[in-house]
Structure 1
Amino acid sequence: MTATVTVATRAEQGSQKWAYALVLAASGVALGVSGAPAPLYGIYQQAWHFSPLTTTFVFAVYAVAALVAVLVSGRISDVVGRKPVLLGAFGIMILGLVVFLFADNVAMLLLARALHGLAVGATVVAGAAALLDMRPKEGARAGQLVGVAFNIGMAVAILGSALLAQYAPHPLRTPYVVITLACLAIGAGVIALREPHTARTAGRITITKPAVPQEIRSDFWFSALGVMAAWSVLGVLLSLYPSLASAKTGIHNLVFGGAVVASTALAGAGVQYFATGIPARRAAIIGDIGMAIALLLTIPALATHNWVLVLVAGFALGATFGLGFGGSLRHLSNVVPQHKRGETMSAYYLLAYSAMALPTVVAGWAATTWGLTTVFPWFVVAVSLACLAAAGLGMRRQSA
């Protein structure tokens, strides 16, 4: 009988060799959904005559909702399982796409982005937990692959959205229809997925309280400053930078704005995939310094009005972003105590999503008041200083 059970277990595992790849694809598609509206904000802005501040509010709503999902979905998936959370997330994701599809005012955009924030936050947490359930000894590898999937999903979705909006009929409808079909395909795969979390825990569903263990405070702030600077860049990159790049180069084709962001995301994916041989702290320090330099280089690149240099600057920013963000996350994962992982990562993502939302809104407000061209260099200098502060903290800790 034991032999029969063993054979059955192996057969079950063999029949779902695709499960790991499916969860990675789900993570990539979720991040793709989060980035897909980026090339379309300019169309919304022109059609509905709203300001850059409104654009950044639409983006910030996503970050706040994602943070809420991050804080609760881990515990929910521990109690009810990873599969129900992933299914619920994709259901909410598709609902958000339907809202986008029929949106005719800013309130509907805010609702759609809030739904997507909840869905993506839940997918990120439950997906990461599911990958660890399937291959518990490959945590570092899973983190690396998830980072790559995030960036590739975002690049494909943003560039695809821009292409469809530029050349297909109904630019504010067609991209969402195509993405909905992709989500339905992933959802069908999740339905067929066997629950990977077989040792579920009973108990109440609670919010994970953010906290940082005293013994790793210095390491935590090194990692947190790095991710805060990186995600500040990401927020403005997705909400305002495509419009700025188009205005500076005089190229108003949506594909160009999409290509600027997509090249940045692909560079981040490539670096995260190939840079794991670099020790985490060193990678984060190099990435933080490199991100500061790359950010500063975007100012003269934009001033040249040369689209090639704008793309190159974006690619350099993406590469250093991947190195800094990937290194910071790997470093924190290496030092956080096992029994404190939930509350520490909650604190980490609380700061990360706050850094994505708040500076983006401030930049949008300032752009509405003084103009994006005037505000952008000041924003770049401020974030560059934050990147250098993170690098300095890491180097001081390393020499201690």
Structure 2
Amino acid sequence: MDGERGRWRQCLLGGAVFAVCMAGTTLPTPLYGLYQEKFGFSELQVTVVYAVYAFGVMGVLLLAGNASDVVGRRPVLLTGLGLAALSAGCFLCATGLGWLYAGRMLSGLSAGLFTGAATAYVIELAPKNGSSRATFVATAANMGGLGCGPLLAGVLSQYAPWPLYLPFVVHLALVACSAAVLLRLPETVRERQSLAAVRPQRPALPASVRRVFVPAAAASFVGFALFGVFTSVSPAFLVESLGVHNRAVSGLVVALAFFASTAGQLAAGRIGVARSLPLGCAALLAGLLLLAGALYWDTLALVVLSALVGGGGQGLTFRGALSAVAGASPAGQRAAVISMLFVVAYAGISVPVIGVGVLTGPLGLEGAGLVFLACMTALVSTAAVYLLRHPVREE
């Protein structure tokens, strides 16, 4: 019993390290308005600063997604924490837009290293009969950490001194504590090789998987795009259209979307893949419509409901998509197909968000948001209709 308790303690500590790293990736969210005031850049530049993060994540997933399988979990995670610390350092030293680009890129590289390695590590630290619970710990750490970032920064920047510095100082302290914890946790990869053995992963899409992959990827793209808009431009919308200048409130609204995603992923495990994908698409559609209503009528309550409903839909669709795609993939190509799904998902965080930034100039923030929502609604509706006509079979 003591051995099992010890393994669960290690699993939870690994999850805490995972959460700290992911919190750093969303920490700047409620601070973009302050950076705009300080450096005088446009809404388009805000969205590009945000999207640089996704390009960093995709680069690592493609070039070094299997690194922790080769050199071990702890070296990769310690590298990820080092990159997170460098990212915080860039924001602390920021004297212009270039520092923000560098900080976001380093943050993306850190998250790219953590996404696969920390998920596997948390599961491997748990007792052998606890893989299901450990998977939820990893999921909760990932999404919960993403949600805690804007909440922490929003509260500190609103109610404590040095709003552009204190959140990153606190995160650096948490990163240092996480590194100390990680050094005390065991390595779970038994047969390790040198870094030279790491090879780039090429995304693959076998013909047998396309029937499942295309609608699952479309739903994942929309879910991540919704997150992208919430974390990049929603604080500006709250200020400009709703007169909400409290950064703690802005951070909370963004955090709710990530917390709801955690609940959606937990629900997906209970209702099954076949139902979670179409139900998730329906929830995403409802979340998009609620956000459209919030933009049209300038209503804070609808923004909050959109975060909750859309976040839950994202959790349902993404866990359902991962399960469906993994189950339909040939064993020898499963990792490559899953990498392809992650690349599509992170493209959803970056490409549409930049599009919103481009359209903000001629159409205004609300008009650009409505165009984005119309495009995403068409995409997720098409995916939902396809999934209803061609249900994904349980594996």
Q: Bin the TM-score by the shorter chain.
A: over 0.9
Change (3 A) 1:137 1:336: farther
Whether 2:265 is the aligned partner of 1:278: answer no
**2:88 aligned to 92, 97, 103, which one?**
97
Q: Which runs of 5+ in 1 are unaligned?
A: 1-9
Q: Give the aligned partner of residue 195 of structure 1.
A: 187
Q: Do the aligned partners of 2:227 and 2:257 also contact (CA within 8 Å) in 1?
A: no
Whether 2:142 is the aligned partner of 1:158: answer no
Q: Give the aligned partner of residue 292 of structure 1.
A: 285
Whether 2:303 is the aligned partner of 1:310: answer yes
The 5 Å alignment of 1:177-256 reads: 177-200=169-192, 204-256=197-249
Q: Give the aligned partner of residue 116 of structure 1.
A: 107
**2:46 aligned to 55, 69, 75, which one?**
55
The 5 Å alignment of 1:1-400 reads: 17-135=8-126, 141-200=133-192, 204-398=197-391
Q: CA deviation at 1:28?
A: 1.9
Q: CA deviation at 1:290?
A: 1.8
Q: Give the aligned partner of residue 7 of structure 1.
A: none
Q: Deviations over 1:35-79 (max 9, x none)?
A: 110000111112211111101111111100111112233322122
**Higher mean Cα deviation, 299-308 or 164-173?**
299-308
Q: CA deviation at 1:105?
A: 0.5
Q: Distance in 2 between matches of 1:366 and 1:19?
A: 47
Change (3 A) 1:341 1:141: farther
Q: Deviations over 1:144-166 (max 9, x none)?
A: 33222222112222111001111
Q: TM-score, normalised by structure 2?
A: 0.92
Q: Secondary structure at the match of 1:398?
A: coil
Percent identical: 29
Q: Distance in 2 between matches of 1:32 and 1:381?
A: 30
**Higher mean Cα deviation, 49-58 or 364-373?**
364-373
Letter paired with 1:360: V
Q: CA deviation at 1:11?
A: 8.6
Change (3 A) 1:283 1:383: same
Q: Do the aligned partners of 2:57 and 2:108 also contact (CA within 8 Å) in 1?
A: yes
Q: Secondary structure at the match of 1:249?
A: coil
Number of equivalent positions:
391
Q: RMSD value over aligned CA atoms?
A: 2.2
Q: Secondary structure at the match of 2:147?
A: helix
